[in-house]
Structure 1
Amino acid sequence: MLGFGHLDLKGTFNARLTLTVLLIAFSQFNFGFDNQGFASTQAMDAFIKQFGSYNEKTKKYYLDPVWVSFFNGFMYIGQASGVIIGSYISRRWGRRMCMFTMSIWAIIAATIVITSKSSDQILAARVLNYIYIGMELSVVPVFQSEITPAQTRGFVVGTYQVALYVGGLIINCIARGTGSMPGREAYMIPYGLFYVVPTIVSACIWFVPESPRWLVLKDRPEDGMKALRQLRDGKFTDQEIEEEFAVIVAGIRQEVEQGSFQDIFKRDQFRRTMVVLGCNFLLQATGQIFTQMYGALFVKSLGTINPFTVTIILAVVNTLTAILAMVLTDKLGRRFQLLVGASIQAAAMMTMGGLGTASNITGGMKIGIVSMMVVSSFGYSLGWAPTAHILSAEIPSTRCRDMTYRTASVLNVATQFAVSFSLPYLLNAPYAALGSKVGFIFGSIAVLSIVFVYAFVPDVSGRSLEEVDRLFESSIPMRKFGKVKVDMTVENTKGGDDTVFVHADITPKNQAVHTEDRRV
């Protein structure tokens, strides 16, 4: 039975945690504004006239495919830089400082976007704006995973993708209304939203608690306990809060040194790193960039359906599906959700590619191609879109979380760049001119993603981050993580010599398999 009962939101979220989660999710709206705002406006006649070239033969303005590839590819240079900068700030000065810094930067970048009048300026503006997007990617899922109770972590981190889609839906609706305007206001009105979100976030972020885990990691246990109490008071007893904090402290003291880049590939971290890297690659390689970034331009080239109508349909489907996925992920599990979503993507992309092989593509076939774009987007929003971010935040160890997440995010961005930069050449003449036959490429990758999930992706739904650490330290295969129970106890946390004993009992079906004691 579908619903929120398994999450126990009323019994878990106090006012402070609720407001913190909402503010962090709200910051993600700007990613949706940028992602879908630029995708929609590229199909506007006013945008094409302002930043395109004039064809003397057709007497029409057009966007050069080479420039389009730069416009939708070079921005990832900014995003990769933002990931590195944001991860460093987040690790050194805290999650809140990273969010404050990125918001101030976004206001500066938005000013350059709004004042752009040449193709070079709008290209540079988008690259600069994506530094904000990269910083956001580096901090939001990590911050969310560190402050949320284990049983609702998937639900909360899922807001990352939901907020992106809601932001995209808002800007698509505005673009639909302004698209027929003849002047620069057609696309500048939607871009005006770029100022709103970072201004509010920068003003409010200091009113939310810092991550308790980050505070303990920085040897500030008193502040960490204070932050955890703010996030749990009224919904958990003092004893439950103290027990949770004791486990956090024990886990961090056990891994007191923060991991380097080399550490994430060592034997004890290798499995975790490969899972996170694989998820971030497949998140961007299974076709979502085609449907979301080039969807409006591709639909316009088909000449059958209003491209702005299609972008709104995609935005609505993505938003509703992401909300459904956010509710279900802690109940159905990460593996199951990924397997279903990737299967839908593979089937839709292969069908779209097949329709594009006809020598004479009819109007009905074109509608079928567009429909498969929507179905593929549904599968992506159900599976990879929310779940990859959840896994990236919860799989890395406490010691290596920032470095693993930073490395995976850079791979994520590099994959986006490779796909975005190559798509104009794959889609259009005089280059490969594959059109909808690119579905065969993305469909094949989606099939490989199904194999990857089945073989390597563990299900750690409902586990605390410290329980995840214990599971990876055990000899249990990752595919069986969801079938075992982990009981963790911490003793002597208030001893005079600061001695902590961590006891983890891992049992499948009530049969003891692995018991360990750690002295910290």
Structure 2
Amino acid sequence: MILSRIDQALFDPAIKVRNFLDRFPKIYNIYMIAMCSTIAGMMFGFDISSMSAFIGTDSYINFFDNPGSTIQGFITSCMALGSFFGSIASSFVSEPFGRRFSLLVCSFFWMVGAAIQSSSQNRAQLIIGRLISGIGVGFGSSVAPIYGAELAPRKIRGLIGGLFQFSVTLGILIMFYISYGLGKIDGVASFRIAWGLQIIPGLILFTACFFIPESPRWLAKRDFWDDTEYIIAKIQAHGDKDDPDVLIEIGEIKDQLLVEESANSIGYATLFTRKYFRRTFTAISSQIWQQLTGMNVMMYYIVYVFQMAGFTGDTNLIASSIQYVLNVVMTIPALLLLDRVGRRPLLIVGAICMMAFQFGVAGTLAVHSVPWPDSGNESVNIQIPDTKMYASRGVIACCYLFVCSFASTWGVGIWVYCAEIWGDSRISQRGNALSTAANWIFNFAIGMYTPSGFKNISWKTYIIYGVFCFFMTVHVFFGFPETRGKRWEEIGQMWDENVPAWQSRSWTPIIPINPETEKAARISLEREEKRRASSVVRPSISDPSV
């Protein structure tokens, strides 16, 4: 037994990677760990505002030969295309090599892509750089939420999961103001410096991966139980291995691993079997609906939107920045409400509000805008005249309220929901990777479509997104079960029993979990494991030289 473990440590590449990363001191504060891992979300935010801030500037338009609506749509959305492939590939790295190594891969691709973008000489090089950066974001967006969910104590799992979206919004805000300042530079240096600065969050994440612990669930799958217990105890009980929460967590991991003996045969096809199809469909749908709200229209092309409302130059950029501030501020209430109100109420109310504000933008532009054939941008062919500033303010107000509605509901809620909805750890990583890939492919499609949509149907584009918001409201009510406050096993049982989504909030399992009985069982299992382990030597964090 000892020889086989040593052989594994010597010849298994995954163990070599783990041992190398474990040579560095670790931080065990869950909030600090989450801040490090969710830098992957901040990268995505950096990309959104670094592009949206420059697509309307003369230096960008002239250097890239006045890109039309189609090619600009592809330039903007190719990052999401790269993220689609990165999301699919992430599980093939995260499962064998661990969550930290996947985050290292994320930061590596992001930095390479940012360097290529910053040195772009033509459209082709810019597109290649954005594709490579997208691969990194795809890895990060698939792995970071799962990593946080696997490390976080149950009581704050919603909060920790929501920090990913908060990091996205913070990245958008920070990079927008950086880009706004650099936009005052005359010439190509404005966007080159902004895109080059994107290397910084990638470098921070790359360095942080050496100081954060590995996921205890991944370690348990590799049979490193000493390290699993150590990490959980340090995070949840300041190192007290006899703490009841620690014992319960260890016991749950053991129970899940008992049914994971068949996990090696599980692939993406398993997600579409009869047992798992409904949860797969729900997770993929939720990520698709998040994109079909039209939020990325307000993020990527906010400059175009405000040009239609009659705002140009610095006035446009300042108005845009207010929207980004609201996006960050209104994410905070969602972090607090997810674990109090629940997932379903937030998603339903958010969808209804977004529908109203999309229709508000469409209606105001339909009534008060006039043709603007000489705008200099084929995607912007209408504008509200100066004589109707009240209508311009109405469009801006609807945009602001839309962003507030999204940020406080769907922005945070979907990332948390998709990380916890599976109820079966055998499929959670691949399931989350697949649903995230669906998010990115629709992100790509919307980025491609929107400039052409503005060109061909102008204000009617907003009606399409408003209709989508109506249908997602109906889908959430009838198809999205409530997961707030439910244990992992209870969520799985809820799916197996086909509990109607509108009854899931008050549903209780047939065999409720008795905390006291469970605690006693966990303590018993823990003592038995310690007794068995006392005669076996295992490489651990405390012995990295093996």
Q: Which category of TM-score, normalised to the shorter sequence, fits these structures?
A: 0.7 to 0.9
| Equivalent position of 1:183 in the other structure | 187
Structure 1 residue 133, shift from structure 2 partner? 0.9
Distance 1:131 1:277 in 2: 19
Aligned to 1:487, the other structure's residue is in SS state: coil
Deviation string 1:93-127 (CA, Å, 9 cap, x unpaired) is 11001001211222221111111122221122111
Single out whichever of 262-271 and 310-319 deviates more from structure 2: 262-271
Distance 2:181 2:53 in 1: 12
Deviation string 1:400-459 (CA, Å, 9 cap, x unpaired) is 11121122122111211221111111101xxx1x22321110000001111111111122
Structure 1 residue 128, shift from structure 2 partner? 1.3
Distance 1:119 1:424 in 2: 17
Deviation string 1:111-151 (CA, Å, 9 cap, x unpaired) is 11111122221122111111111111110111111111222
Identify the match of residue 227 of structure 1 among 224, 231, 235: 231
Identify the match of residue 493 of structure 1 among 525, 534, 537: 525
Distance 1:286 1:481 in 2: 25
Does 2:109 correspond to 1:96?
A: no
Structure 1 residue 221, shift from structure 2 partner? 2.6
| Equivalent position of 1:410 in the other structure | 437
Whether contact under 8 Å (2:82, 2:134) holds in the other structure is yes
Distance 1:417 1:231 in 2: 38
Structure 2 residue identity aligned to 1:98 = S
Structure 2 residue identity aligned to 1:247 = E
Structure 1 residue identity aligned to 2:284 = L
| Equivalent position of 1:154 in the other structure | 158
Distance 1:169 1:245 in 2: 40
| Equivalent position of 2:501 in the other structure | 478
Does 2:253 correspond to 1:251?
A: no
Distance 1:473 1:66 in 2: 46
Structure 1 or 2: more strand by fraction: 1
| Equivalent position of 1:351 in the other structure | 360
Whether contact under 8 Å (2:86, 2:137) holds in the other structure is yes
Structure 1 residue 248, shift from structure 2 partner? 1.7
| Equivalent position of 1:204 in the other structure | 208
Whether contact under 8 Å (2:479, 2:500) holds in the other structure is no
Does 2:389 correspond to 1:363?
A: yes
Distance 2:529 2:119 in 1: 62
**Closer, same or farther in 2 for the Cα pair 1:148/1:413, shift >3 Å?**
same
Aligned to 2:197, the other structure's residue is in SS state: helix
Whether contact under 8 Å (1:109, 1:125) holds in the other structure is yes
Distance 2:151 2:491 in 1: 16
Does 2:289 correspond to 1:285?
A: no
Distance 2:33 2:300 in 1: 30
Structure 1 residue 165, shift from structure 2 partner? 0.7
Indicate the RMSD between aligned Cα atoms, in angstroms. Answer: 2.2
Structure 1 residue 495, shift from structure 2 partner? 8.6
Does 2:407 correspond to 1:381?
A: yes
| Equivalent position of 2:30 in the other structure | 17
Deviation string 1:346-385 (CA, Å, 9 cap, x unpaired) is 0000111111222644433233223212211111111211
Distance 1:355 1:300 in 2: 14
Structure 2 residue identity aligned to 1:84 = I
**Closer, same or farther in 2 for the Cα pair 1:439/1:290, shift >3 Å?**
same
Structure 1 residue identity aligned to 2:426 = R
Structure 1 residue 168, shift from structure 2 partner? 0.8
Distance 2:221 2:525 in 1: 17
| Equivalent position of 2:18 in the other structure | none
**Closer, same or farther in 2 for the Cα pair 1:120/1:301, shift >3 Å?**
farther
Structure 1 residue identity aligned to 2:356 = A
Whether contact under 8 Å (1:162, 1:323) holds in the other structure is yes
Distance 2:83 2:499 in 1: 37
Distance 1:127 1:364 in 2: 41
Deviation string 1:300-320 (CA, Å, 9 cap, x unpaired) is 354325221122111101101
Whether contact under 8 Å (2:118, 2:193) holds in the other structure is no
Structure 1 residue identity aligned to 2:235 = L
| Equivalent position of 1:4 in the other structure | none
Whether contact under 8 Å (2:79, 2:132) holds in the other structure is yes
TM-score (norm 2): 0.82
| Equivalent position of 2:538 in the other structure | none
Does 2:436 correspond to 1:423?
A: no
| Equivalent position of 1:70 in the other structure | 74
Structure 1 residue 235, shift from structure 2 partner? 8.4
Distance 1:209 1:303 in 2: 51
Whether contact under 8 Å (1:343, 1:379) holds in the other structure is no
Distance 1:76 1:38 in 2: 13
**Closer, same or farther in 2 for the Cα pair 1:188/1:129, shift >3 Å?**
same
| Equivalent position of 2:543 in the other structure | none
Distance 2:529 2:167 in 1: 46
Structure 2 residue identity aligned to 1:401 = S
Distance 1:110 1:186 in 2: 15
| Equivalent position of 1:125 in the other structure | 129
Distance 1:201 1:72 in 2: 24
Aligned to 1:373, the other structure's residue is in SS state: helix
| Equivalent position of 2:428 in the other structure | 401
| Equivalent position of 1:513 in the other structure | none
Does 2:59 correspond to 1:46?
A: yes
Aligned to 1:246, the other structure's residue is in SS state: helix
Identify the match of residue 242 of structure 1 among 236, 247, 262: 247
Unaligned runs of 5+ in 1: 1-13, 54-62, 499-520
Distance 1:394 1:141 in 2: 10
| Equivalent position of 2:462 in the other structure | 439
Whether contact under 8 Å (1:155, 1:329) holds in the other structure is yes
Aligned to 2:187, the other structure's residue is in SS state: coil
Q: Which has the higher contact order (CA 8 A, sep 6+)?
A: 2
Structure 1 residue 255, shift from structure 2 partner? 3.3
Give structure 1 regions of 4+ aligned residues with deviation exceeding 4 angstroms.
494-498
Q: Alignment length, in residue pairs?
A: 472
Structure 2 residue identity aligned to 1:196 = I
Does 2:279 correspond to 1:275?
A: no
Distance 1:300 1:368 in 2: 14
Whether contact under 8 Å (2:28, 2:234) holds in the other structure is no
Whether contact under 8 Å (1:152, 1:462) holds in the other structure is no
Whether contact under 8 Å (1:69, 1:420) holds in the other structure is yes
